[in-house]
Amino acid sequence: MINSVRNTVLAVINKNNYGYISPSDFNLFAKQAQLDLFDEYFVNYNQQINEENARVSGTGYADIKKGYEEVIDSFSVTANLAQNAANVYTLPADYYIINKVLCSSGGLFKGEAERVSQSKITLLSSSLLTAPSVIYPAYTLENNLITVLPTSFNGATDISSQYIRYPLDPKWTFSTISGGAPIFDQSQADYQDFELPIDDANDLVSKILQYAGISIREGDVYKFGQVEEQMQNQQQ
Amino acid sequence: MAYIDQKKYYTNDAVAPTDLNWGSYQYVSLTDIVNNFLLMFDGNHSLVNNEERYKILFHAKRGIQELNYDAFKEIKSLQLTVYSDLRFVLPSDYVNWVRISLFKNNTIRPLLENIQVQSALSYVQTATASFTYDAEDNVNRQTSTLDSSRQDGSLNSIYLNQANLDQNNNTPYNEDFYDTFIGARYGLNTETANMNPTFTIDKKAGVINFDSTMANEQCILEYISDGMEGGDNSLITLNKLFEEYIYAYIKYSVLNNKFGVQEYIINRAKKDKTALLRNAKIRLSNIHPGRLLMNMRGEDKWLK
């Protein structure tokens, strides 16, 4: 998908000889555009839920929320967390949202830890009825570390997490240059396609055009990208 | 969580305690309650949404506690010997008592609660009525004469009116023999008369105080707890007859404490909760023909 997106972007900005963006610039804009759209998925997902609650959303093929869920779930990862100290574990470097923290002991799953804010954890821990327990553990977040309670969860493989990771940085790669233009080569080791679904190609083009328009100081290109994006949003 | 097979139910797969699962099918665990609630009653399209799990857990436990107080009829019993200190320390999970009995000669004798004070603090006083203090400026205490007289048996009781005997248990020389027993063998206050020991519960001190006739006797305390099983969440259970009620209770408690919930929604949740509690209590009361018949058999009994 990345090559077709790049071709489309170049086709638009080459019109009237507006300019040219290098592969490295394209990769930067592509990364930024993908992150923008990735963020929007969560906002749109929430909006769809609100529409469902307002009973203005359908089921079956009209279930837009389901589509959003599928895309978000495609970034889901479940992995053990590295132990930093006794009951302190390091979050993965590529996490966007921690969805679940799963606690095990002796290889047996015990319970899902609940995230508790720093302002509540002291009160929670001192409550007889709700203090974190093996069945109902809790964790707090500080920097990229989580502290799991009760402290009996302190094994190297006791804590795993299901989280949504950031999409990998897209990279349009080439190996040869022909007629002054690089030739796309997806066999390169650092090649990385967009991870968003194909139907996001139009949005990616619009977003990249906006960044490219600013880069080459062409307001028309920027406005074109912006209008395209607004139209697509309205259709959704 | 899967249902256990019959072998595990009857034998716990030979793991001690082998009777662990007996009767377990009557109950639903706290874990199931919280899981089911979060799964079925909490979410984007539900009345309850975006609530922390610990709040659900709190309300679930509070609901179970409330049910234990009056609806469950799950009465625990503890038998202990009362020694010469005439005290029975309340069990660690004690919330309220149902009945206290003396077990003697293979007979259970329910005891009466003594409405009089049975135990008191006492401060050391000087001849000028002032108090003395220890190194930390706390007033010095001593065993009260009320306590000592109760323990040595010299405390008079309204529950078995004592005959007016001398210290050798003989009729005083200047008393008529029959007058000695007025108010004891004759003219008893039938409201309080009882030959068994009596007791008073000192809730703050966490003990049951008995009169001296209870020394070295067996006492059976029937009491209720709050079902929290010493804080072990994995042991907390709820009778299945109350399962629907506990969901309604949690839902009501959450909605009732949430800002901006319409009053009619709260009222609906409240009615649900109340109706389900009533249903569950009727179910648990187990009114069936066998029991009715048993009660009706007693109606022909002649009163003498």
pLDDT digits (tens, 9 = 90+) for B75-85: 999 999 999 88
What is the DSSP code string of B54-95? HHHHHHHHHHHHHHHHHTS---EEEEEEE-TT-EEEPPTT--
User: What pTM value is reported for the model?
Assistant: 0.83
Asked whether the predicted pLDDT for residue A19 surpasses 90, the reply is no
Nearest residue of B to residue A121, measured between CA atoms: B54
B23-69 per-position pLDDT tens digit: 999 999 999 999 999 999 998 888 998 899 999 999 999 999 999 98
Partner-chain residue, chosen from B44, B53, B61, that has the shortest CB–CB distance to A129: B61
CA angle, A162 then B31 then A72, to 5°: 25
Residue B141's pLDDT band, with cuts at 50, 70 and 90, is very high
CB contact under 8 A, A135 and B52: no
Question: What's the confidence (pLDDT) of residue A42?
Answer: 94
Inter-residue contact B48 to B255 (CB < 8 Å): yes
Residues 6+ apart with CB under 8 A from B179: B164
| Interface probe with A: pick from B54, B95, B250, most Cβ of A within 10 Å | B54
Tell me, yes or no, if A123 comes closer than 8 A to chain B by beta carbon.
no
Amino acid (1-letter code) at residue B37: F
Q: CA torsion B22→B27→B31→B33, rounded to 10°?
A: 170
Partner-chain residue, chosen from B52, B62, B233, that has the shortest CB–CB distance to A133: B233
Asked whether the predicted pLDDT for residue A218 surpasses 90, the reply is no
Q: Using CA atoms, how far apart are residues B255 and B48, in angstroms rounded to an integer?
A: 7
Partner-chain residue, chosen from B57, B62, B228, that has the shortest CB–CB distance to A136: B57
Residues of B in contact with A53 (CB under 8 A): 44-45
Average pLDDT score over residue span B194-204: 87
Residues 6+ apart with CB under 8 A from B7: B13
Question: What's the confidence (pLDDT) of residue B294?
Answer: 80
